């Protein structure tokens, strides 16, 4: 790795954004333009069909290059947001050519030689990366893990039960397009009052989802895994265990798709080693980096996706102690799945890599 003293403007490191034209890549360019500028050259890389497009980053137009080995030459840090199969092929290529790769796909998250990093929770993990790869967690995990990590550090987590309410942008541009098209078909109608009427109106226009998502919720995200679990549910379980260093943590997850464009929400039931108090939990949440406590139900104040979309923190409300268990807390958590849930955490990891140089 050439490092900050290598090529790049003012001797700063060269960054590649691979997958720059996707839903997360688009947000990544916004974030790179908003955060402290630690980068020299920023290269935008995507599939050959997107090559030649011009995108704006840091107020400058940059032409998108096709993903090739040559495009990765001289890169110090590469942020990848591409499908798993593309990452499996190209992430090792970038690492072999000297880049530290921060990968947002699921291809390497559970590799024991690849750290899975959330800078507010386990920043030390970024330093041990024998393959030259650092993995970015799944957007659903990231929507809750910063708040959960702060509570774990104080109370000691021993069991977790969560349900997610996931925005359609988690399925990329196609997910957003599908919801908007379905909403146009059902708007101003009396649909949603009889069995199958929404399905008939939508027809085959379900896009990346197995069922209509407009006027509906779909209790399925991901692909089928053993015993009826979905891949998304297994990601939340496995990634939470790895990030918190709790390999045997009991975790139960149900992932649900909802008709929201951006921002994932979760209900969290967390059991800890000993008795907890709401006052101390609220204090921890309110002072944790990257977390906002927004919790006054009497005034109608609690996080919702409509208010959280486009913001960086994890928002937490409905903080209660479990009615029947003095060691358990109930929370409602919201996080923008394209920002902290993907692009922002990737950028924060990349900045950690630069800082260590």
Respond yes or no: is residue 152 known to be catalytic.
no
| Residue pLDDT, tens place only, 189-231 | 999 999 999 999 999 999 999 999 999 999 999 999 999 999 9
pLDDT for residue 357: 73
Where helices occur in 169-325 by DSSP H, the ranges are 172-186, 197-202, 231-244, 278-287, 305-308
pLDDT for residue 356: 82
Respond yes or no: is residue 269 known to be catalytic.
no
Give the orientation angle of helix 344-355 with respect to helix 23-34, to 10 degrees: 50
pTM of the predicted structure, to 2 decimals:
0.93
pLDDT for residue 10: 61
pLDDT for residue 9: 53
- The CA distance from 276 to 328, in Å, is 7
For the purposes of burial, counting CB atoms within 10 Å of the CB of 223, is it exposed (0-12), middle (13-18) or buried (19 or more)? exposed
| Residue pLDDT, tens place only, 95-136 | 999 999 999 999 999 999 999 999 999 999 999 999 999 999
Helix, strand, coil abundance in the chain, percent, nearest 5? 35, 25, 40
Task: Measure Cα distances from 171 to 22, 68, 88, 133, 228 in Å.
Answer: 11, 26, 19, 24, 21
Percent of the chain with pLDDT over 90: 96
pLDDT for residue 285: 98
| Residue pLDDT, tens place only, 33-53 | 999 999 999 999 999 999 999
Say which of 255, 264, 269, 334 is annotated catalytic.
264
Say which of 124, 139, 194, 255 is annotated catalytic.
139
Whether residue 345 contacts residue 137, with contact meaning beta carbons closer than 8 Å, is answered with: yes
Assign 207 to helix, strand or coil: coil
Angle, alpha carbons 87-210-259 (nearest 5°): 90
| Residue pLDDT, tens place only, 297-328 | 999 999 999 999 999 999 999 999 999 999 99
Task: Measure Cα distances from 283 to 40, 50, 128, 295, 311 in Å.
Answer: 40, 47, 32, 12, 21
């Amino acid at each position: 790795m050439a490092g900050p003293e290598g090529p790049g403007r003012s001797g700063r490191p060269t960054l590649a954004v691979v997958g720059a034209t996707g839903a997360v890549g688009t947000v990544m360019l916004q974030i790179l333009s908003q955060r402290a500028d630690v980068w020299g050259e920023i290269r935008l890389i995507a599939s050959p069909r997107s090559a030649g497009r011009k995108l704006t980053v840091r107020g400058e137009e940059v032409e998108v290059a096709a993903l090739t080995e040559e495009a990765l030459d001289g890169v110090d840090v590469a942020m990848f947001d591409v499908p798993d199969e593309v990452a499996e092929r190209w992430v090792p290529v970038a690492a072999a050519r000297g880049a530290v790769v921060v990968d947002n796909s699921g291809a390497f998250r559970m590799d024991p030689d690849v750290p899975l990093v959330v800078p507010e929770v386990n920043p030390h993990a970024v330093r041990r990366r024998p393959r030259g790869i650092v993995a970015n967690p799944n957007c659903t995990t990231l929507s809750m893990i910063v708040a959960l990590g702060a509570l774990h550090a104080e109370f000691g987590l021993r069991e977790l039960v969560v349900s997610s309410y996931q925005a359609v942008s988690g399925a990329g541009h196609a997910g957003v397009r599908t919801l908007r098209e379905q909403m146009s078909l059902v708007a101003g109608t009396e649909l949603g009052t009889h069995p199958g009427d929404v399905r008939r109106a939508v027809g085959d226009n379900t896009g990346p989802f197995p069922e209509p998502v407009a006027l509906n919720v779909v209790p399925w995200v991901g692909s089928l895994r053993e015993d009826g679990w979905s891949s998304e549910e297994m990601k939340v379980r496995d990634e939470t265990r790895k990030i918190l260093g709790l390999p045997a943590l009991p975790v139960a997850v149900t992932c649900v798709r909802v008709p929201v464009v951006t921002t994932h929400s979760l209900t969290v039931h967390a059991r800890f080693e000993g008795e907890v108090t709401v006052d101390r939990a609220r204090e921890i949440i309110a002072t944790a980096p990257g977390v906002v406590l927004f919790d006054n139900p009497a005034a109608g104040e609690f996080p919702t996706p409509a208010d959280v979309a486009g913001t960086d923190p994890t928002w937490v409300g409905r903080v209660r102690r479990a009615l029947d268990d003095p060691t358990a807390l109930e929370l409602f958590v919201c996080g923008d799945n394209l920002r902290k849930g993907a692009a922002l955490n990737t950028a924060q990891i990349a900045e950690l890599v630069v800082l260590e140089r």
